[in-house]
Structure 1
Amino acid sequence: MQSTDQPDAKSKEFGHETIADTSVLTDFWRAMALLSRVPVYHIDDFRPVMIARSVWCWPLVGLVLAGFALLPAMLAHYLTGNAVIFAIFAVASMVLLTGAMHEDGLADCADGFGGGVDQARKLEIMRDSTVGTYGVVALILGLALRLTLIMAAADMGQGAVIFLVVAVISRAAIPVMMRILPPARDNGLGKGAGRPDGLPILIGLAIATVIVLVLSGIVATLAVSCGVALAICLVRLVAKWQIGGQTGDVLGATQICAELFAGIGFIAAMTMA
């Protein structure tokens, strides 16, 4: 999702499909191109149907991105032994890898929902590249909470685990929002990303659940899953109320909110263990 809601972002029509277009490996590389700034070559088919079929591997993309983001963070922690520095390096590295696309979505939603007087004006504000007061506040609070959650987990010896867990499970939440909430516009990424079928979404959720279970155990998995479910419900409720559907910005905000609520669930589970 390298663009939020520009009218024709990644939605070009192509005349035919090739075998490579429908391969499992190509699904992964297409997802990587959509969800990050990592250079991906020979992937140029971003029709809604192709995007929608790739959603099963979005949690795997989150795992790979988080793994790479952890490398400088763990080096910094090894050199300094400081949880704050670890958290800052981890978040900063992830932001660089993703191009801050999800943060941009959160800021645009905050500006649009907070500053618009009607649906049309809210959507207009969300498409504006300028970040307003609501957006700045949302970004500050969101980043502060992310850093706090990682630092709290690092103090428990779980800093790397929480970073991987929330990266995986939050990207499984995006396709759910694409499925349960119709696009609010007739163009833009929210429309161009398509509406995934239930099977790819369920496969993605299953993959995310298994990864989280292996990394953190059954109690944390249940807590994280509850957090993500709550985040999806809240974002859906607000987006439906404010603009009548989802956009690329709403999908970005969904990822951030799911990450934060999953992190809270993880910390709660670790504290009670």
Structure 2
Amino acid sequence: MIRLLYPALRAGAFLTRLPAVPAAFAGPPVPLGRDAPAFPVVGLLVAAPSALLLYGVLQTGLSPLAASALAVLLLVALTGALHEDGLGDTADGLFGHADRSRALAIMKDSRVGTYGALALVGALLLRIALLADIAAGSALAAALALPAAGAASRGAMALLWAALPSADPGGLADRVGRPSPRAGRLAVLIGILLALVSTLPVFGTGAVLLPPFLAAVAWLLLSGVLRRRLGGQTGDTLGACQQVTELAWLLGLALLTA
């Protein structure tokens, strides 16, 4: 039975700062892309401690804004800012009007530029603000929103990885084994199902329509830009996809509580 958890344990070792479980890596190496359907499970589980922190802190009477900031910062720490790093690098590469080769070179640079800094600050502030809006109406709704958005956005990330060719052959996302189209579709389906199961009891039937719609629009816009500017995806753009679709999902949930 424990072997059924191995894909999530392997994916979690890559996507988070949580300790690796050696038993999950026993035997022949497994390409990370094959474990892509487990990405949403990792997204849900890594957000659980932040959800519990958010709910607990709100019970003390601390403001929704402060509680949301603490929860988001804990989540960033648990993931090692992996996806935030990708968002910053992608923003630096895409918003400088550089050609494809120059954009890819910029994205590989470890230094953070103006566009990257603005994207990181903007994304963090928006995530905190949206979560605080939800928390102002219901502590339970906010606590459930975090893992739901985490699961759905990691499914969207896996789908992007499978749907677009590598724009950087030999890069990290290429070396670890791109998922098959079937694995990408399965990942996004699992992500949506986990998100809906988490939020339907509190947000009602609106959770079936608005958050998935906004996340799909964000995904399509980002994938279109990546095809046009880079000719595909890289590891950094996968992180950017996770961040953008998570924000879109949270926006949908926040609108439902407005």
Please, what TM-score do these two structures have when normalized by structure 2?
A: 0.89
8 Å contact kept, 1:227–1:262: yes
Cα RMSD for the two superposed structures: 2.1
Matched, 1:266 2:253: yes
- Measured in 2, the distance between the counterparts of 1:178 and 1:203 equals 13
CA offsets, 1:167-198, max 9 Å, x none?
11001101110111111011122212433223
CA offsets, 1:69-110, max 9 Å, x none?
223333322223310111101100000000001110010011
- Measured in 1, the distance between the counterparts of 2:163 and 2:187 equals 15
- Measured in 2, the distance between the counterparts of 1:49 and 1:127 equals 26
What corresponds to 1:128 in structure 2?
109
Q: Closer, same or farther in 2 for the Cα pair 1:48/1:155, shift >3 Å?
A: farther
8 Å contact kept, 2:156–2:241: yes
- In structure 1, the gaps of 5 or more residues are 1-19
The one of 210, 217, 242 equivalent to 1:255 is 242
What corresponds to 1:207 in structure 2?
190
**Structure 1 position 116, deviation (Å):** 5.5
- Measured in 1, the distance between the counterparts of 2:186 and 2:94 equals 32
User: Following superposition of structure 1 onto structure 2, how do residues 84-123 of structure 1 map, counting pairs within 5 Å?
Assistant: 84-115=65-96, 117-123=98-104
8 Å contact kept, 1:116–1:125: no
Give, as a single letter, the amino acid of the residue that structure 1 aligns with 2:15: L
Give, as a single letter, the amino acid of the residue that structure 2 aligns with 1:262: W
Matched, 1:197 2:180: yes
- Measured in 1, the distance between the counterparts of 2:236 and 2:168 equals 12
CA offsets, 1:195-239, max 9 Å, x none?
322333333333323222222223212211112211111111111
**Structure 1 position 54, deviation (Å):** 0.8
User: Following superposition of structure 1 onto structure 2, how do residues 142-221 of structure 1 map, counting pairs within 5 Å?
Assistant: 142-157=123-138, 158-217=141-200, 218-221=205-208
What corresponds to 1:246 in structure 2?
233
**Structure 1 position 254, deviation (Å):** 0.1
Q: Closer, same or farther in 2 for the Cα pair 1:198/1:242, shift >3 Å?
A: closer
Quick check: which one's helix share is greater?
Answer: 2
What corresponds to 2:213 in structure 1?
226
- In structure 2, the gaps of 5 or more residues are none
Matched, 1:38 2:18: yes
- Measured in 2, the distance between the counterparts of 1:195 and 1:244 equals 16
The one of 38, 62, 66 equivalent to 1:81 is 62
The alignment-based identity, stated in percent, is 35
Please, what TM-score do these two structures have when normalized by structure 1?
A: 0.85
8 Å contact kept, 2:148–2:196: no
CA offsets, 1:131-157, max 9 Å, x none?
011111111111111011101101120
- Measured in 2, the distance between the counterparts of 1:55 and 1:152 equals 32
| Deviant stretches of 4+, over 6 Å | none
